[in-house]
Amino acid sequence: MENGLVNIIDDLPTAGPGLKIGSIKVNNVVLQGIEVAGSVDVVHLQELLSNTLKLTRRRRYSKDGTRYPEPLPSGSPARKLSIEIRDYLGYRDTRGLADSTVRASTRVLDMLFAVCGDIYVSSITHAHIYRLWDLIRWTPNARASAKILAVRTVDDLIAEGKELNLRRPAIDTFKLYRRQLKTFFGYLVKTGTLGHSPMGAFDAMQETLIEDPDKAERLFDSEELQRIFDPAGFKEWAEVWPHRWWCPILGLHLGMRIGEVAQLKLANVIQDEGLWCIDIRATVDEPLRYSQGRQSNQRLKGKSAIRRLPIPQAVLDAGFMDFIADIREAGRLRLFPNLTAGTKDNGETKANYGACFSRQFTEYMADLEFPKGVRFHAFRHTLITDLKQQGFLDRDIALVTGHATAQERIETIQRHYDHKTSPKRRRTKPVLRDWQLEILNAYQPPVQLPRYTRGQFWECLTHDGLVHL
């Protein structure tokens, strides 16, 4: 009764030609002959109902006259789904989440709204979630956008999908939607809006144990590496742009992700206790320093991805520091300024530097007749596999790959390896860097890297029409 009365109060119009209410019963009090003529009367009525509710609330006493504590409320007064979605997305926007995460949240909540309508969130049950699964199952992404959902019914979209006998979405799609829904309803539970989440009954998706024998291997053997870095073929393809030259080399010898390599800045190449290192972290872009949104076009997969890697000797021998000298002399902040991240009309990044290079590398792999699905990430798989075969432990490999291990987080490993000393007893080099360099130098792929020549990309680096921020 109490929550229902509060909902009545919230639904009262703030203005209008007039409203007559025959009677309202509040516990043992009946209010009759109520007339509301304007927004001021609405406020007075709300105050009257609230005060009446407080004054007439039943007091509970034991047989000895001791008052029982008031029962805890089951939840705050429920609000409409549209309001909760608006506030939830607004809150997530302030958390600095990745654009892709915010877009995923918006998409699944648009579909939830299409299924439920603008009802009170306390009215959402497991039946609505079943209906949402049907929509996800039978509606492809192209036909379930917010614009389409605004003009077509859920029944129509599901019927169309069944008629076309659309292929079932990948299990990862259902995992993504389930995760987003659990987060949304979990948030409402934490705020006291809901007593329980309607997603509580929906367990995690079952992992498939089926393997596709035709699926391409995600690592390179010796012959394939030699084909990629063929002295004539690779040089012909790579000498067009600096990112084509250096990104595969860094991916090969350091196991860096394509996004990590493509977004490197001059500030990410540092000297640490006598060793040249690549400092993988996101730094502020000056043009975005005072923006309300993202302050850097660099992105990281997670906290464990932040790491500092000593540059292997093979990369130094290939002339990497000569290239860094050219970047510094050209006055560029990014190592690969010819890559674009893509921008929206408002200037916010919608893509990433890795996506631009990935298209070029995929085309190169296709020209070399590699099977579809073998991409830049295979360098990372190859390095990890080789190191494991040499007997390195997972926690040691994680020091260079930026993975978080199940037993120990990277931060814990660093505390054990990178011992601190007083200024009076400074080490020549930190223990962690030595160990990382030993791990990286243990990987010796059977390829001959091309030697960089100072100034070979000078036109690409200095021509403003070819450079992107």
Q: Which CATH architecture has domain 222-466?
A: Orthogonal Bundle (1.10)
The string of pLDDT tens digits covering residues 160-191 is 889 988 888 888 888 989 999 999 999 999 98
Structure tokens at 205: 């998706």
- Residue 379's pLDDT is 95
Q: Smallest Cα–Cα separation from 229: which of 456, 385, 457, 451?
A: 451
- Residue 219's pLDDT is 86
What predicted TM-score, i.e. pTM, was given to this entire model?
0.66
- Residue 461's pLDDT is 93
The string of pLDDT tens digits covering residues 346-391 is 445 555 788 889 999 999 999 999 988 888 999 999 999 999 999 9
Yes or no: say if 259 and 329 are a contact pair by the CB < 8 Å rule. Answer: no
Where are the domains positioned within the chain?
A: 2-55, 81-201, 222-466
CA separation for the pair 237, 368 (Å, rounded):
11
- Residue 423's pLDDT is 42
CB atoms under 10 Å from CB of 292, counted, come to: 8
CA atoms within 13 A on the CB side of 247: 33
DSSP category for residue 355: H
Distances (CA, A) of 405 to 212, 384, 441: 27, 14, 22
- Residue 104's pLDDT is 85
Cα-Cα-Cα-Cα dihedral sign, residues 117, 123, 127, 130 = positive
Side chain identity, residue 34: I
Structure tokens at 309: 């890697």
- Residue in the block written with tokens 């959402």: 124
Structure tokens at 436: 């990382």
Share of the chain above pLDDT 90, in %: 43
Q: Smallest Cα–Cα separation from 79: which of 50, 121, 114?
A: 121
Q: How far is CA 102 from the centre of its chain?
A: 8
Residues of the chain with pLDDT under 70: 1-18, 39-40, 57-77, 96, 98, 141-142, 207-217, 285-296, 342-351, 405-430
- Residue 1's pLDDT is 46
Yes or no: say if 335 and 467 are a contact pair by the CB < 8 Å rule. Answer: no
